[in-house]
Chain A
Amino acid sequence: MKIARVAGTVVSTIQHPAFDGRKLLLCDLLDPAGRPSGGYLIAVDTVGAGVGETVLLLDEGNSARQVLGDGRAPVRTVVAGVIDSVDL
């Protein structure tokens, strides 16, 4: 899993049916210390995360489909949690 920060949202009307009613979050990837490590991913929200929050990203298709409860969803990345703190 990856640590990321929600930087924004992606709004879409024409999309694969697996995304209907789902929220898409654009997430900046972070290093463990919380600094942007470059790069971003668009993830399907499953926990009600919002912009500015630090989140836990799951970037693996089989697990993502399991979380969404749709074995045929073309999704690899989901927001699987909101991170309260990281202790190094």
Chain B
Amino acid sequence: MILGRVVGTLVAAQVYRGLEGVRLLIVQPLDKQQRPQGKPVVAADAVETAGRGDVVYFVAAREAALALRETFVPVDHAIVGIADQVALEDER
């Protein structure tokens, strides 16, 4: 898992079965100092409450689909938590 920031939402009316009702968000991956790093991805929101501006952590690859109610779905990134605080050693 790595950190990301929700920068947008996405609506897809016609989706593969199992993906109906799954929230899709645009997530900008972040480095550990929460600076943007790499290209944005579309991630399924497994916590169902993430919103624009939230710092989240997301899982990539096959494991992403396991986060959803229907686990055999074509999803490769899923938000699995909203980060309230990232405490780094350097900042202590």
Residue-wise, chain A 29-58 has the 8 Å CB interface mask toward B (1 for contact) of: 000000000001111000000011000000
Size of the B side of the interface (Cβ < 8 Å), in residues, is: 33
Contact B71 A76 (CB under 8 A): no
Known: A74-B46, A74-B59. A12 touches B66 (CB 8 A): no
Residue-wise, chain A 46-88 has the 8 Å CB interface mask toward B (1 for contact) of: 0000011000000001001000000011111100000000000
**How far is B81's CA from A43's CA once the two chains are assembled, in angstroms?**
13
Query: B residues within 8 A CB of A51?
Result: 89
Q: Which of A12, A18, A75 has the most CB of B within 10 A?
A: A12
Contact B81 A75 (CB under 8 A): no
A42 is contacted by which of B2, B62, B85 (Cβ under 8 Å)?
Answer: B2
Task: Report B's interface with A, CB cutoff 8 A.
Answer: 1-3, 31-32, 46-47, 49-50, 57, 59-67, 71, 78, 80-91
Report the minimal beta-carbon distance from A69 to chain B, rounded to whole angstroms: 14
Task: Report A's interface with B, CB cutoff 8 A.
Answer: 6-16, 18-19, 24, 26, 28, 40-43, 51-52, 61, 64, 72-77
Contact A41 B1 (CB under 8 A): yes
B57 is contacted by which of A12, A18, A28, A73 (Cβ under 8 Å)?
Answer: A12
Contact A26 B82 (CB under 8 A): no
* 3 shortest interchain CB distances as A-B pairs: A74-B67, A15-B81, A8-B88
**How far is B66's CA from A27's CA once the two chains are assembled, in angstroms?**
23
Query: B residues within 8 A CB of A64?
Result: 63
Contact A75 B59 (CB under 8 A): yes
